[in-house]
Structure 1
Amino acid sequence: MSASSAAPPTEDAVVLQLPADLGIESVAALKQTLAAQLDAASLTIDATAASRLHAAALQLLAAFCRSRKDAGHATRWSAASASFTDAVRALGLTPMLGFEGVKA
């Protein structure tokens, strides 16, 4: 399955709310959170709260989404803050995150 964007979660989908602070010092905790969801059959990520961003956090999210896609797991984005959306686009991570069509 390929990653989809802005799709509603299914009944058994996990919804992951990203924190407001995705600074460099929060990447280790984010990695642990993501690792726990790596094998979830369906995952929806909500990035509406994300306001402080570091490239390392976005790179980690991109690697996570790629790993899930390679394993055949669906990853969707419900919504994202303008800051998150702008950073994803500026770094060229839209395709890796499956972020096409996500509205800020």
Structure 2
Amino acid sequence: MLIIAGYITVPPEDRDQAVATFADLVRRAREAPGCLDVAITADSVDPGRINNVERWRSWEDVDAWRAQARAPEVTILTDHVRMYDASNERSPF
């Protein structure tokens, strides 16, 4: 499994519109082969931060999705999103 997680920063006055702009992308990604989950959300504390969490079955699934995703254009000030290989899964509770 691959986990893509982190956040981007955008101008605070643009954040809510940027999150709304990603809604269609999130809906389509969740239906894509190999997608286990995707969430792109406004941060509850920082008005310029957008959190991103994705789980994919494989790199091939991510690559196939990105080839046809048509991500919207937003002004990104900084990017703190990283991809991780996960070899083990269990509930943290």
Task: Give 1 or 2: higher helix fraction.
Answer: 1
Question: Which is higher, the Rg of structure 1 or of structure 2?
Answer: 2
**TM-score, normalised by the number of residues in structure 2:** 0.35
Which protein has greater RCO, CA pairs closer than 8 Å, 6+ apart? 2
Q: If the length of structure 1 is used for normalisation, what is the TM-score?
A: 0.32
Question: Which protein has the bigger strand share?
Answer: 2
